[in-house]
Chains A and B, each alone.
Chain A
C-alpha cells in the first residue's frame, strides 16, 4: 500500500521569507501523481500544486514550487515570499493506478508578520 509521510507537524516562517515543507512517499508504482493541498481555517480544501511522476520538470504555480525527487520518493513544497494568507494546514497527497488519493497527516504553517 502507498504511504505518504509528513514528519514535521508544524513550521513557522517570517512574512516575505521562503519556507519548504517536506513530504516523502512510498510506492512500487512508476506512474502516479502527487499533490499539495492547503486547508485554511475555513476548512475548505484547496489544491495548491500537482506533479505528474513521468515529468522530470518540477511543477510551479506562482509563488509555489515543488522539488520532486522520484528516486528518493521526495516531494517538497517551497513557498516563496510568504504571505499572511499562506497560514494554513498543508497536506501532501498521492494517487496511483487504483485512483485512491492518500494523504499525509499534514503540517501546520504559521506566518509571522
Chain B
C-alpha cells in the first residue's frame, strides 16, 4: 500500500521562488491536511480539507495556498518563498471529514524538507 505520498522529499529554493509540494493518498480518505514542523514548535497546521472542493485555514496559513479538486490529491503551494518557510512539511490524511469528527488515525507522509535561501 502506498498510503500518503509526498514529493519532493527535499527542495532548495531561493527567496521569491514559487513551488508546489505534492501530496497524494490512495486510501479514499476525506480528511487531508498540511503541517509544518519546526524545532521547539511541534507540528503546526497550515491548511486542511474535509473533502473534495472544501479547504480551510489552519494555524499558520499565510504564504501558502491549497486546493482539493479530487479526493486523492492535496497540493500545497508556496507563492513567494521566504526564509521563514524553511521547515519540514508533512501531509496527513484520515477517515471522516464531512461525515463527522476526525476520530481516526492520522496517516502521515514521510515529510518534505524545504530550505529557502
Contact = CB atoms under 8 A, between A and B. Distances in A.
Contacts, number: 60
Given A43-B111, A44-B108, A100-B58, A105 B102 contact: no
Interface string B67-103: 0000000000000000000001010100011000111
Given A9-B40, A45-B90, A45-B92, A101 B45 contact: yes
A91 interface: yes
Interface in B33-50: 33, 35, 40-45, 48, 50
Contacts of B96: 99
B41 A33 contact: no
Interface residues of B, number: 26
Nearest to B100: A99
Contact of B42 (A43, A47, A97, A103): A103
Contact of A43 (B41, B97, B105, B110): B110
Contact of B101 (A37, A47, A95): A95
A27 B23 CA distance: 30
A29 to B, nearest CB: 10
A104 interface: yes
Q: Find the residue from A31, A32, A52, A106 having the highest chain B CB count within 10 A.
A: A106
Interface of B: 31, 33, 35, 40-45, 48, 50, 58-59, 88, 90, 92, 96-97, 101-103, 105-106, 108, 110-111
